[in-house]
Every structure is written in C-alpha cells, then in structure tokens.
A = this chain, B = another copy of it.
Amino acid sequence: MTDFARTRALFDIPEGMIYLDGNSLGPLPVAAKERVATMLADEWGKHLIKGWNAAGWMNQSRRIGDRVGKLIGAPEGTTIMGDTLSIKVYQALAAALDLNPGRQVVLSDSGNFPSDLYMAQGLIGSLGRGLELKVVEPEAVADAIDETVAVLMLTEVDYRTGRLHDMKALTAKAHAAGALTVWDLAHSAGALPVDLIGAGADFAVGCTYKYLNGGPGAPAFIYVAPKHLETARPALSGWLGHEAPFAFDLDYRAGAGIDRMRVGTPPVIALTVLDAALDAWEGVSMADVRATSIALCDLFIAEVEKRCPDLVLATTRDGERRGSQVSFRHPQGYAIMQALIARNVIGDFRAPDAIRFGFTPLYIGEKDVLGAAAILETIMKDRLWDRPEYHRKAAVT
C-alpha cells in the first residue's frame, strides 16, 4: 500500500474517529477554511459585484470542471460544474434522448441511485412521447441492450454493494445497438481510475461531495463527449449557457461547447470550497489510490469475515469488479450501524439491510480498517446492537 500520510494531513478528521463514510460525504479539507474566509473577505467583501471579473468567478465553473475532468479521463473543455447531480442527470438524459430520436426505451438498472431513476421518470413524464424507463437487475443490463434502447443510463458503482459496471464494454455494446450512454460517476470520481474518452462514454455526471471532498451539497459536474459538444440540446437552457449571456437577447442560442450545460448563476462560495478540496489530488496517482483502496477493502472483508460470521458480504471479493466500498447485510443492519457510530466508527446504512463502509486512501489507512473491524466484532459478539437507542430512526440514514 502507498503511504498517504501527506494527504491525510490535508483533512480535518476528529481525533479518535474512524471515518468510513467518505463515500457519502468527504471530510473537511483543512485548506478550505482559509480559502473560504479569503473569498468572503477579500473577494466578495472587497470587490462585491466586480468579483465576477476581478476574482474570476465567472470562469470558475469551467476551470474547476477541467480539474475534475483530469480525474475522470476527460479532456479540457468537456466538463463543467454546476447545480446538483440530479439536475445534471436530467440535462444529460434529455440531451441524449434528443440525439437519438425515434427510440422509446431508457434502460437502467435497480442498482442505479434512485434519484437518477426519479429524474428520468420526471423527464419522461414531461416529454410525453411514449418513452419508457426500463429497469433491470444489474446483471441483466448487457443482455437488455437492444435496438429499442435510446439511452443506457447507469451508475458505474452500485451505491449499495459497490459492484462496478464495465463502462467500456457496456458502452461499446450500447453503441453497437445504436444507443447512447449516460454514466453517473458519483461513486467513481476520486475513487478509481475513470477513462471517459477511452470508454467512449457519451455523457457523464457526478457529484463532488463524496470522494472529491467538496462539502455537503457541493456542486455537480457534467461531461459531454467531444463529438456531442456542439449538437447536444440543453433542455435546461439558462442564461449562462447562452452564446452571449450579457447581450440579454430574448431568444436562447446555445453557447459553444460545454458552456451550454451551464444554467443559472454559479455557486461561487461552494465552488471555492471545492477548488480547495481538489488541491489534495495534486501529485496523487489514481493508480496508487486504486491499489490501496483494493487492499484496504480486501483487508476489511477478511477481518470482518473472520471476526463476525453473522454478517453476510454483499460486495464482490473481486477487487477489480468493485468500487471503493464494502457492504455487509444483516437483518439488524440499521442498529448495528448505530452501535458503530456510537463508538466513533462512521459508516452508513442503506435500506433494507446493508451496512456500508467507504475506503478513501487519501485519509484512511490500515490502522483504521483494523480498528473498525475490532469494534464491529465487539458489537456482534456482545449483541450490543440490541439496545433500544440503536433502533430509533434518524431523519437521515
């Protein structure tokens, strides 16, 4: 395993906490505190409206999009920040459907994050041209790709189990059948090497508050393949995606390239935090991150299986076929996770019965893995999950 002591020092993690939930929300980058303070006092406070030019706010979405692009195999000018992942899913799917008229099926799987499916349902309901969202089991996706499919819309890493789709093979199969692809990289960007150009992906979207540590509700990104950049119709045609936003014309004309995927005024403060967070990736090899992540996950699986025979592994043992997380199933999963959290081992629970642990080499190492497994062992052996306080449901799980 590569030693990530240097990057670990870049994050604020409370003393004694074993944080295995960076796949939900990354920790605070130390640098973000000063960066935001400076942005508030010296940019907003001193420049006020002039900050759009003087502090480079207007260019932030594009510049940071290129920084994210470097982590996902996207060339400059193909990735842009803004909005939320759900909104970016809508944009990507709407554009993909427009580029492939005459077909009626959006194909997805039950391992896709529900919000992606919901946004597709809303879009299909709006379009009202007889489109159908077809949701199959993850294992059945490849066989379900046929010439009825307009768009294949998948999340690369299953948020529940960590199962990793073969983006390149599925994209090739989709293309062979005449379908376009929309890939959600929520659990991929910053978790493993992604090669959008190599895979031939048409559209990709993702969030930045997980492995990219951008903070709660950090802006999302959208990628459009070079071949679609000038033809993709922006369904969410906001003024900052206009060819000339400050001409204030009454008619929309899509801007050049990826800029057309901008919608409204960009979230400058949130982008400033994200920009600081992305500094942690400078000089980091994604291959090293991946190798370490696989080793940490392997170690966790081995330790938990040895110590906790009642937990059923929900994630593949094949490191190459999973993302950077491990899940176990147990009927008392919710209470087990509450007992872990009470002991400062932070993972999360995904209904109906999965406890989920994310492994994020930038700031998590072997010692954390062994510590978490030992505490989990105590909880299982002593049935500590059987206390009433661990069965109270929180608003957010």
Contact = CB atoms under 8 A, between A and B. Distances in A.
Contacts of A125: 233, 235, 237
Nearest to A110: B250
A34 to B, nearest CB: 10
A268 B135 contact: no
Nearest to A61: B217
A118 B249 CA distance: 9
A20 B123 CA distance: 41
Copies of this protein, total = 2
Contacts of A218: 267
Interface string A20-50: 0100110110001100110011001110111
Interface in A326-373: 341, 346, 348, 350-351
Contacts of A269: 36, 215-217, 269-270, 273
A62 to B, nearest CB: 11
A48 B346 contact: yes
A211 interface: no
Given A236-B87, A242-B114, A44 B216 contact: yes
Interface in A379-397: 394-397
Interface in A106-138: 110, 113-115, 117-119, 121-123, 125-129, 135
Interface string A214-233: 01111110000000000001
A238 interface: yes
B44 A37 contact: no
Contacts of A220: 264
Contacts of A235: 122-123, 125-126
A84 interface: yes
B33 A37 contact: yes
Contacts of A233: 125
A94 interface: yes
Contacts of A48: 13-14, 17, 19, 21, 25, 27-28, 346
Nearest to A43: B216
A202 interface: no
Nearest to A349: B246
A142 interface: no
Contacts of A46: 14
9 contacts: A52-B395, A86-B238, A114-B239, A114-B249, A119-B238, A123-B235, A125-B233, A125-B237, A267-B267
Interface of A: 12-14, 17, 19, 21, 24-25, 27-28, 32-33, 36-37, 40-41, 44-46, 48-53, 57-59, 83-87, 90, 94, 110, 113-115, 117-119, 121-123, 125-129, 135, 207, 209, 215-220, 233-242, 246-252, 263-271, 273, 341, 346, 348, 350-351, 394-397
List the 6 closest A-B pairs by CB distance, nearest first: A84-B264, A122-B237, A115-B239, A86-B264, A86-B238, A216-B268
Given A217-B270, A220-B264, 4 more contacts: A52-B395, A84-B264, A87-B264, A117-B252
